[in-house]
């Protein structure tokens, strides 16, 4: 089963990325799996602050490796080093009706969410066309994605169907989504963990940084004093107890409801669980940080392997549309 997915290099990876996506990648890596660092996609929104993209690529690869992705079991590569992505995207852009892109709900949501950036650009509107090329270039059958990416995957299927219909070929399998089983991860302010909200716990954070962030974390807003009974279900700290301190959640909930524990102690217990979870990742991350040449070799090898597959598909597509005999 061929699998393709990727990450936009907009900074270091956080716990939301790990539990929402990278863990899934790790489970799939025994398959014929390709994982890209989608730097073209980063440029669609970061074209004005582009100086960080290349550094962020290395951060993401380091986080991939620290999280347990094994280059012997999967192909890790940089999107812009496989030029076939933009070439196939160019072919797809010829056949994708503008209305398909304009009606895309993720596009509309992102325009609102990233309202501080000028995103009325050709590249940003065409993001799903490039994504369709990313997936179809590898003839991927399965694509691990978050819920917000489902409309893009549907568009990739529509592009494949239209291509087949227009050129009388059947060359792309219709890719199916693999949804993550982990619920969304909350940030320190109780909203979804996201770089744009500045509420993240990063894989690269030290144990002390994690403790500092958890100390400032939001709790049940109605619990103002130690003797007030709390409601753990509205508390993001409790939410994280379920993820990182699962053996003790019933006690935490009971003691919170009965005002038998204070929020400071509760946070420190959760932070200890989170640090236990993060420690092996942190250790591997520190090791990989000192192995930049090895990382470059992994990427070179990954890009070579990706280009072998991508080149073949692009050739077929060029023939189908009449650009090659
Ligand atoms: S005791 Fe724990 S679960 Fe309850 S409100 Fe405080 S931090 Fe949240």
The mean per-residue pLDDT over the stretch 113-134 comes to 89
The mean per-residue pLDDT over the stretch 257-262 comes to 96
Lowest mean pLDDT among 171-175, 176-180, 283-287: 176-180
pLDDT digits (tens, 9 = 90+) for 156-177: 999 999 999 999 999 999 999 9
C-alpha 211 to ligand 1 mean position (Å):
16
Decide: 235 in ligand 1 pocket, CB within 6 A.
Answer: yes
Decide: 85 in ligand 1 pocket, CB within 6 A.
Answer: no
pLDDT at 297 over 90: yes
Residue nearest to atom 7 of ligand 1 (CA): 263
C-alpha 308 to ligand 1 mean position (Å):
53
CA distance 67 to 61: 10
pTM over 0.85: yes
Decide: 236 in ligand 1 pocket, CB within 6 A.
Answer: no
CA distance 87 to 73: 27
- CB neighbour list of residue 162: distance below 8 Å, 6 or more residues apart: 95, 96
Decide: 314 in ligand 1 pocket, CB within 6 A.
Answer: no
pLDDT digits (tens, 9 = 90+) for 44-102: 988 887 789 999 999 999 999 999 999 999 999 999 999 999 999 999 999 999 999 99
Q: What is the CA radius of gyration of the chain?
A: 22
* 51 vs 205: which has the higher pLDDT: 205
Mutual orientation of helices 53-66 and 263-289 as an angle, nearest 10°? 100
114: tokens are: 């990233």
Decide if 306 contacts 79 (C-beta within 8 A).
Answer: no
Decide: 261 in ligand 1 pocket, CB within 6 A.
Answer: yes
Q: Are strands 2-7 and 32-37 parallel, antiparallel or unpaired?
A: parallel
- Token pair 């010829």 in the structure block, residue: 94
C-alpha 237 to ligand 1 mean position (Å):
6
pLDDT on residue 182: 66
Decide: 87 in ligand 1 pocket, CB within 6 A.
Answer: no
pLDDT on residue 254: 97
Mutate to test the pocket of ligand 1, among 237, 249, 250, 254 (most ligand atoms within 8 A of CB): 237
pLDDT on residue 263: 97
Lowest mean pLDDT among 31-35, 195-199, 203-207, 267-271: 195-199
- CB neighbour list of residue 12: distance below 8 Å, 6 or more residues apart: 56, 59, 60, 63, 202, 203, 204
pLDDT digits (tens, 9 = 90+) for 4-30: 999 999 889 999 999 988 999 999 998
pLDDT on residue 50: 78
* 111 vs 256: which has the higher pLDDT: 256
**Mean pLDDT score across all residues of the chain:** 94
């Amino acid at each position: 089963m061929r699998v393709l997915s990727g990450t936009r290099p907009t900074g270091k990876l956080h716990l939301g990325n790990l539990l929402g996506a990278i863990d899934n990648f790790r489970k799939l890596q025994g398959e014929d799996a390709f994982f890209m660092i989608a730097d073209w996609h980063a440029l669609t929104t970061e074209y004005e602050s582009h100086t960080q993209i290349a550094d962020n690529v290395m951060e993401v690869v380091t986080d991939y490796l620290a999280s347990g992705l094994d280059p012997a079991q999967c192909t890790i590569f940089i999107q812009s080093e496989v030029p076939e992505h933009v070439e196939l995207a160019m072919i797809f852009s010829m056949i994708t009706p503008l209305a398909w892109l304009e009606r895309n709900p993720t596009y509309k949501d992102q325009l609102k969410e990233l309202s501080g950036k000028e995103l009325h650009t050709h590249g940003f509107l065409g993001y799903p066309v490039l994504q369709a090329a990313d997936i179809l270039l590898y003839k991927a059958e399965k694509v691990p994605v978050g819920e917000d990416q489902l409309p893009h995957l549907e568009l990739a299927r529509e592009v494949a169907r239209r291509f087949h219909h227009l050129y009388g070929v059947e060359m792309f399998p219709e890719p199916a989504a693999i949804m993550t089983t982990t619920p969304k991860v909350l940030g320190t302010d109780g909203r979804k963990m996201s770089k744009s909200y500045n509420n993240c716990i990063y894989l690269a954070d030290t144990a002390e940084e994690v403790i500092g962030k958890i100390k400032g974390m939001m709790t049940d807003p109605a619990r103002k004093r130690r003797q007030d009974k709390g409601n753990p279900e509205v508390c993001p700290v409790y939410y994280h107890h379920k993820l990182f301190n699962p053996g003790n959640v019933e006690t935490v909930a009971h003691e919170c409801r009965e005002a038998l524990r204070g929020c400071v102690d509760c946070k420190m217990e959760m932070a200890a669980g989170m640090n236990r979870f993060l420690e092996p990742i942190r250790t591997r991350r520190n090791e990989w940080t000192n192995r930049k040449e090895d990382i470059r070799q992994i990427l070179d090898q990954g890009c070579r392997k990706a280009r072998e597959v991508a080149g073949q598909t692009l050739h077929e597509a060029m023939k189908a549309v009449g650009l090659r005999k």
